[in-house]
Structure 1
Amino acid sequence: MARRKKIYEGKAKILYEGPEPGTIVQYFKDDATAFNAEKKDVIEGKGVLNNRLSEFFMTGLNGIGVPTHFIKRLNMREQLVRACEIVPLEIIVRNYAAGSMSKRLGIEEGTALPRPIVEYCYKDDKLGDPLVTEEHIAAFGWASQQDMDDIVALALRVNDYLSGLMYGVGIRLVDFKIEVGRVYDGDYQRLIVADEISPDSCRLWDIESGQKLDKDVFRHDLGNLADAYTEVARRLGVMPKSATHMAKPKLIN
């Protein structure tokens, strides 16, 4: 069997050439990083959980007409996705103050925001993914005004979907980040949700207790990260309701 060609390796995933032109195989690693990779560890089973959870969220978005790059899950750690040109931005949607917003603006963590706030960070690990404005994005040509309008519309639709889904299982969607890619059909361009949606890219708090069920567990040493992600998967029906974290999680196909 021919060795697959690696396209890119990031902090949490590896991308390989797909079996067909225009496709990519996305492999989810067990690596956990925080504070721009200053804190690192390997959490056994994390990649399996994120692969399955991202499949669940992307499939749901596709089902309501929000286009994503997701095609299908291949196995426990890999999924087949559509190749796209990634817009060099992280799009962050905030429903409650937390993390860097609380620090920047002096707002108590957990404060409900008057409306969802969309922020942008320039994707550059060496620079620490700095916060940028629409003026920066337009001036440096990272996205056109039409792109920005479409990106905001996509991000808010994702927010509506995820917020309702999480609320239904007793979880508050505090904030999340997505990436967006361009795909072309002849001369026609459209934007799609890319990368992943998982507890790595969301802040998720239990509505009743305030318990954190996302990567903040790892960032701030609040417990076992895989247990937190397993709880999210269990509530969403991705894992059996009786499941607890195991070294190799048993997932529902």
Structure 2
Amino acid sequence: MKLIYQGKTKDIYQTDDLLTLKFKDDVTGTDGQFDPGANQVGLSIEGMGQLNLAMSTYFFEKLNQAGVATHFVSSNIPEQTMVVKPMKVFGLGLEVITRFKATGSFIRRYGAYIEDGQPLDFYMEMTLKDDARQDPLVTPDALVALNIMTVEQYNRLVLLNRAITKMIKEDLEAKGLDLYDIKLEFGYAEDNPSQIVLIDEISGGNMRVYRGAELLQPLELAGYYTRD
């Protein structure tokens, strides 16, 4: 395998016509505290890579079975690797945040108008992956003006993101858990730009989930998907 990218929580290797993602034990955060919205590694938790991969595998297999387009091919949990189909990313990378309750950076921005934990109805926002510029928020008009995506791609992405987050939210609710927000990434097939595809991972490292009033740390959340 040829290393082609070193990320904060995963490394990417080229393997013939496919890619292999190697999950790390690192999670994003600040000052040693977990924060899915942070753009830097905040801490390392032993075993986190395997647990995040197990949780991602569970959701990707469930989505694939439901006919949702993803990049997932297979995974090897002991080796902390996931084989995926290569996809083009939007611009240099685009993150889609769906918020069901106000918290985190949403409160830091809009705290004059809303209380922490107040319900939101599938509120969606997008950020450009750009560490140097602190992952700036981007509007639909800007995405089109910057030639990052077309209006048609944006509309397809919105519908796909809503369907996926609904499935994840309902799965967590069945375990007595409350999804506050989740960050997902999407790409598209190079030979078919209209085919929007879920990429990256679906793990405890990119969502905030509560059990009652308690924010679950990624290690504990991922444990819900490795106990069966």
TM-score > 0.5, shorter chain as reference: yes
Write the distance in 2 (CA, Å) between the matches of 1:11 and 1:47.
Answer: 12
Identify which of 4, 21, 29 aligns with 1:26: 21
SS at structure 1 position matched to 2:181: strand
- Which one has the bigger strand percentage? 2
Give 1:176 shift.
0.5
Identify which of 86, 93, 100 aligns with 1:95: 100
Point out where structure 1 has 5 or more consecutive residues left out of the alignment.
Answer: 215-224, 241-253
Write the distance in 1 (CA, Å) between the matches of 2:41 and 2:54.
Answer: 25
Write the distance in 1 (CA, Å) between the matches of 2:3 and 2:190.
Answer: 23
Aligned to 1:161: 167
Matched, 1:190 2:195: yes
Matches within 5 A, 1:123-202: 123-185=129-191, 189-202=194-207
Write the distance in 2 (CA, Å) between the matches of 1:181 and 1:37.
Answer: 20
Write the distance in 1 (CA, Å) between the matches of 2:194 and 2:65.
Answer: 21
Relative to structure 1, the CA distance from residue 74 to residue 128 in structure 2 (aligned partners, 3 Å threshold; closer, same or farther) is same
Aligned to 1:72: 74
**Structure with the greater alpha carbon radius of gyration:** 1
Matched, 1:6 2:11: no
Relative to structure 1, the CA distance from residue 39 to residue 53 in structure 2 (aligned partners, 3 Å threshold; closer, same or farther) is closer
Write the distance in 2 (CA, Å) between the matches of 1:155 and 1:188.
Answer: 17
Give 1:32 shift.
2.3
Letter in 2 for 1:112: P
Relative to structure 1, the CA distance from residue 198 to residue 39 in structure 2 (aligned partners, 3 Å threshold; closer, same or farther) is closer
Write the distance in 2 (CA, Å) between the matches of 1:78 and 1:17.
Answer: 12
SS at structure 1 position matched to 2:74: strand
Give 1:40 shift.
3.0
Matched, 1:109 2:109: no
Give 1:38 shift.
5.5
Give 1:231 shift.
3.7
SS at structure 2 position matched to 1:98: coil
Give 1:136 shift.
1.2
Letter in 1 for 2:117: G
SS at structure 2 position matched to 1:193: strand
Write the distance in 2 (CA, Å) between the matches of 1:198 and 1:142.
Answer: 26
- Kindly provide the CA deviation profile for residues 16-70 of structure 1, in whole angstroms up to 9, marking residues without a partner as x: 012x31x100110011231445663221000000011001011111111211100
- Kindly provide the CA deviation profile for residues 168-187 of structure 1, in whole angstroms up to 9, marking residues without a partner as x: 000111110111111144x5
Aligned to 1:222: none
- Kindly provide the CA deviation profile for residues 124-179 of structure 1, in whole angstroms up to 9, marking residues without a partner as x: 11111111111111110111001100110111001110111111000111110111
- Among the aligned pairs, what percent are the same residue? 31
Write the distance in 1 (CA, Å) between the matches of 2:41 and 2:99.
Answer: 24
Give 1:188 shift.
6.2
| Residues 54, 77 of structure 2: 8 Å contact kept | no
Aligned to 1:239: 227
SS at structure 2 position matched to 1:200: helix
Aligned to 1:249: none
| Residues 95, 184 of structure 2: 8 Å contact kept | yes
Give 1:118 shift.
0.9
Structure 1-normalised TM-score?
Answer: 0.81
- Kindly provide the CA deviation profile for residues 206-233 of structure 1, in whole angstroms up to 9, marking residues without a partner as x: 1xx321124xxxxxxxxxx53x234432
Letter in 1 for 2:100: N
Matched, 1:47 2:59: no
Relative to structure 1, the CA distance from residue 45 to residue 159 in structure 2 (aligned partners, 3 Å threshold; closer, same or farther) is same
State how many pairs are aligned.
Answer: 216
Write the distance in 2 (CA, Å) between the matches of 1:177 and 1:33.
Answer: 12
Identify which of 65, 84, 87 aligns with 1:84: 87
Point out where structure 2 has 5 or more consecutive residues left out of the alignment.
Answer: 31-37
